[in-house]
Every structure is written in structure tokens, then in C-alpha cells.
A = this chain, B = another copy of it.
Amino acid sequence: MPHKTRWLSTKEVRSWRAATRVTRYLFQAMESQLQREAGLSFVEYHTLAMLSEQPDHTMRMSRLADLTNASLSRLSHLVTRLERRRFVRRASDPANGRFTNAILTDEGYEKLVAAAPAHVTQVRELILDEFTAEEIQQIGEFAERLLNRIGAPLSTTE
């Protein structure tokens, strides 16, 4: 019941606020640029992107949900919308009927290819260009340490 809370020091608060503020700000910037220029949300874009990296442009819903940081429910709704727009289609896994595969259509692939340059350019201008290669490396290490601590799977490629 006691559990004395270890409050944050002034320096910690400062770092913490800057970090939360900037991450939220950057997400919003990317969201609205993608939305404006491609009519895709950040998650939608990454859903297409993850699929495009698979040799057969196919991935199981549950894995896709994990990689895009979305709940299965959220992904399911989202894929339904992407299906309506013909960017993705579903097919249940012939090997195991419990699994559903999401499959990138040609149209979806074209959409991604059209959207990518502007997005990547924004990421460079907004973020990467601020840092040296070593700093980018450093940031990646910090992020990976946190992912390990949390127990989140790291890699994209299985």
C-alpha cells in the first residue's frame, strides 16, 4: 500500500515532455500529409507497405496487426475499408481455415508506390536530416532497448 512514488526530477520532466510532445507532433504531421496527398492514414500506408515487402504480397491478419501496431479488431475494420477501395483483398488460408490472409492488389501496390516518395521525403526533412548517421544509429538503439524491455518483437522479416 505504501509504494512511495518516485516523482520525476525537473530534468526528467523536461526530457519527458519534449519527447511526448515531439512524437505526437510528428505523427500528426505525417498523418495529415499522407491524408492530404494520398488519402491514406498512417496505419493504412504502413499496412500497404508491410504487405508490399512480402514476396507474395500476402500476410496473415494477426501478423499484420502486430506489425502495424493495431489491434486485430482495428485492422479488420481497416482492411474492410481498404477492400472497398480495392487496395487489398482477403482470402482465407487454404492450409488452415482459421487464418485470413490480406493480399495487396496491383491497384494497392500502385497506390503505395505513388504515395511513398512524398512520405519518405517528409520523413527526411522533418526528422532524419536533423541528425547525423551516428545519432540516427543511437536513436535506433534507444528504441530497440525499449522494445526489448517491453518484450515486443523486433524484426519485420519474421
Chain A residues near B (Cβ < 8 Å): 3, 5-8, 11-12, 14-19, 21-29, 69, 116-117, 120-121, 123-124, 126-128, 130-131, 133, 135-140, 142-147, 149-150, 152, 154, 156
Asked if A150 meets B126 with Cβ closer than 8 Å, knowing A140-B14, A140-B15, A143-B22, the reply is yes
Chain B residue nearest to A18 (CB atoms) is B143
- Which residue among A17, A121, A152 has the maximum number of chain B CB atoms within 10 Å of its CB? A17
Select one of B3, B121, B131, B149 contacting A6, CB under 8 A: B121
With A21-B147, A22-B152, A143-B18 in contact, do A136 and B6 touch (Cβ < 8 Å)? no
Q: Closest 6 A-B residue pairs measured CB to CB?
A: A15-B140, A18-B143, A5-B117, A19-B143, A24-B69, A22-B143
Q: Is the interface of A mostly helix, strand, loop or mixed?
A: helix
Contact across chains for A127 and B140 when beta carbons are under 8 A apart:
no
